[in-house]
Amino acid sequence: MNANSLPSPPPTALEALNEWVAEVALLTQPERIQWCDGSDAEFDALTAQMQADGTLLPLNDKTHPGSWLHRSDPDDVARVEHLTFVCHEREEDAGPNNHWMAPAEAHAKIDALFEGCMRGRTMYVIPYCMGPIDSALSRCGVEITDSPYVVANMRLMTRMGAAALARIEREGTFVRGLHSTGELDPNRRYIMHFPAELSIKSYGSGYGGNALLGKKCHALRIASHQARSEGWLAEHMLIVGIENPQGETHYIAAAFPSACGKTNLSMLIPPDAYREKGWKVWTVGDDICWMRPGEDGRLYAINPEAGYFGVAPGTSDKSNPNALASIQRNTIFTNVAVTDDNQPWWEGLDDRVPVKDWQGRDFQPGNGPAAHPNSRFTVSAKQCPSYSPQAEAPQGVPISAIVFGGRRASLVPLVFEARDWTHGVLVGASMGSETTAAATGQVGVMRRDPMAMKPFCGYNFADYFSHWLSFDQPGAKLPKVFHVNWFRKGDDGQFLWPGFGDNLRVLEWMIGRVSGEAGAVDTPIGALPRPEDLDLEGVSLSEEAVEELFGFHREGWRGEFDGIGEFLGGFGARMPDALHAEQQRIAAALRD
């Protein structure tokens, strides 16, 4: 079909949307256009179509009803940071934390790839809302894609369809996302972001973080730029509610790099002794958090997502029972293995031996892991046993504490508290973590990952840190800031802290610090708990573990702060003086 004879889109009050869809159709030349309404009938038709062409493989309907397996191209299994560009007019606005390309050059380069790329394919138009549909904190977008797999995932991950389109028509503004799987050629693959235009173009990948444009592309890279101009924060953070035996709930936002335990912490199950006392944990979000100051001076947060795009390997009844319970039905699995009775399987799940690996080959240990290390599940958040009804609260939830953390095998203690907001911003700005399989490249290398936003900040980190500092205003009731390290190792290479549900013991101490009830010892790097400040009943820790988890090693921290100073200096004159001064204050205290 010639693009000029394509059927007109259905009537919509927003002419700008009609015009954009027509422009994209003229560029990409699809066989047909389908406006997505988010209905059950539409989803059923899409999954039937993908089952027919082999894109989705049905799983065991008795054990995992309504669930599917998708296998990616083996060269398309993770985010591609080296092919991801942030396209401001000036390179210094993108900053050294981003790959930059001038907008005109970027449009020309990627539009040449889009030209005619949808011939013989359906072009799907997906209106979606990031956040509760009636929340003033939410923002909307439209993704155009030729991938029915993307449509199915966006239905689980966002508020997608007719209600979102109605809001877009009312507001008259939306983030524009254009995506095509193209030829899945790694040499013809780009993910381009144009923050000033509120637009995204992604070509050549079908992987979630590169193709589900509402997720990292919109909700972090574009939204972080929107948030700076509108006075809020778009962050790579989980949101979890901790309800104490008195019935009081404190909400905590926590930033960890991908595959460092955000989903596990957001769905934490209290230890038996805590449950018996009446402690409860409520999951608001597992990955992304948008925060805005409320009238009372506190920060209020929403989870812009409606589902989980979680890492499968390591998810088990021990590590995350709530996640495992969430994905027993109506779930899309990507790049996992399967058992002889066609159930999804991955390393860390149980001791069964799969029959097919993530590429569909007969499983042979010599071929590597059965499930890809970055294999995923996509599921509605409402299926989580610990799902919080407050996840749909239009006003968001008040944040009592912000937590930063990453994988650090040495030096960094179990937990410490920042002295004040400026110190807290420095803690987040300088946090480091060992890399994981969620992005292409070498695994296990320590890198600075400020606020866990290194791959996701849509502008210069120095300006981003200034934006964080700007929230410290008269009348502000800002959250306390903490840093955690669940991944400290002993001399034998084993983790010293049990983690998982026992992390609630650390969160309880944080809440105690917020309410002024928990003790701590002041050190140059912040306030550290003593072992007796945490409820460690039932936890067996060696003398080495106690020393390393609760200790402060001045000499090691001197080197760490020298490195932090060099890191801050790498951003040049834009780096706020307040962070330089804070780094120097602590470095001087460490020398005393």
pLDDT of residue 293: 98
207 is in an annotated binding site: yes
pLDDT of residue 11: 59
Q: Percentage of residues in the chain with pLDDT exceeding 90?
A: 93
407 is in an annotated binding site: yes
Q: Does residue 131 sit within a domain?
A: yes
Give me the residues paired with residue 311 across strands: 376
Residues forming the active site: 260
Q: Does residue 304 sit within a domain?
A: no
Q: What is the pLDDT of residues 91-136, one digit of tens each?
A: 999 999 999 999 999 999 999 999 999 999 999 999 999 999 999 9
292 is in an annotated binding site: no
pLDDT of residue 9: 47
258 is in an annotated binding site: yes
Q: What is the pLDDT of residues 264-292, one digit of tens each?
A: 999 999 999 999 999 999 999 999 999 99
563 is in an annotated binding site: no
Q: Would the pLDDT of 441 be above 80?
A: no
Q: How far apart are CA 35 and CA 21, in angstroms?
A: 10
pLDDT of residue 13: 84
261 is in an annotated binding site: yes
pLDDT of residue 160: 97
pLDDT of residue 439: 59
Q: How far apart are CA 156 and CA 190, in angstroms?
A: 25
pLDDT of residue 436: 64
Q: Does residue 268 sit within a domain?
A: no
Q: Does residue 351 sit within a domain?
A: no
pLDDT of residue 10: 53
Three-state SS string over 268-291 comes to: CCCCHHHHHHCCEEEEEECCCEEE
Distances (CA, A) of 211 to 30, 80, 207, 468: 18, 11, 6, 29
374 is in an annotated binding site: yes
**526: nearest Cα among 461, 452, 566, 582:** 582
**114: nearest Cα among 183, 176, 174, 193:** 183
318 is in an annotated binding site: no
262 is in an annotated binding site: yes
Q: What is the pLDDT of residues 316-374, one digit of tens each?
A: 999 899 999 999 999 999 999 999 999 999 999 999 999 999 999 999 999 999 999 99
263 is in an annotated binding site: yes
Q: pLDDT band for position 6 (50/70/90)?
A: low
502 is in an annotated binding site: yes
The CATH number that applies at residue 82 is 3.40.449.10
pLDDT of residue 141: 98
- Which of 231, 253, 282 represents a domain boundary (last residue)? 231
Question: Where is 153: in which H helix or E strand?
Answer: helix 148-157
145 is in an annotated binding site: no
* pTM over 0.75, yes/no: yes
pLDDT of residue 3: 47
Q: pLDDT band for position 556 (50/70/90)?
A: very high
Count, in order, helices (H) and strands (E) of the chain.
Answer: 17, 29
Domain count, the chain: 2
pLDDT of residue 133: 98
491 is in an annotated binding site: no
The CATH number that applies at residue 488 is 3.90.228.20
Question: What are the DSSP calls for 447-494, one per residue?
Answer: EE-GGG-TTT-SS-HHHHHHHHHTT--TT--PPEEEEE-TT-B-TTS-
Q: What is the mean pLDDT of residues 221-233?
A: 98
Q: Is 309 in contact with 327 (CB distance < 8 Å)? A: no
Q: Would the pLDDT of 4 be above 90?
A: no
Strands 376-380 and 139-145: unpaired
pLDDT of residue 438: 56
Q: Does residue 313 sit within a domain?
A: no
The string over 101-125, giving b where at least 16 C-beta atoms fall within 10 Å of a residue's C-beta and e elsewhere, is: bebeebbeebeebbeebbeebbbbb
**190: nearest Cα among 258, 106, 124:** 106
Q: What is the pLDDT of residues 470-497, one digit of tens each?
A: 999 999 999 999 999 999 999 999 999 9
Phi then psi for residue 458, to 5 deg, are -85, 15
Question: Where is 127: in which H helix or E strand?
Answer: strand 122-130
Structure tokens belonging to residue 464: 């981003």
Report H helices in 178-243.
208-211, 223-230
Q: Does residue 380 sit within a domain?
A: no
pLDDT of residue 440: 59
For tokens 């849509």, the residue is 458
- Which of 231, 249, 264 represents a domain boundary (last residue)? 231
Domain that holds residue 478: 390-591
Three-state SS string over 207-222 comes to: CHHHHCCHHHHHHHHH
- Which of 231, 266, 294 represents a domain boundary (last residue)? 231
Q: Does residue 339 sit within a domain?
A: no
Q: Would the pLDDT of 429 be above 80?
A: yes
Q: Does residue 353 sit within a domain?
A: no
Q: What is the mean pLDDT of residues 10-16?
A: 81
Q: What is the pLDDT of residues 300-309, one digit of tens each?
A: 999 999 999 9
pLDDT of residue 275: 97
Q: What is the pLDDT of residues 37-79, one digit of tens each?
A: 999 999 999 999 999 999 999 999 999 999 999 999 999 998 8
pLDDT of residue 52: 98
Q: What is the pLDDT of residues 361-414, one digit of tens each?
A: 999 999 999 999 999 999 999 999 999 999 999 999 999 999 999 999 999 999
Q: pLDDT band for position 1 (50/70/90)?
A: very low
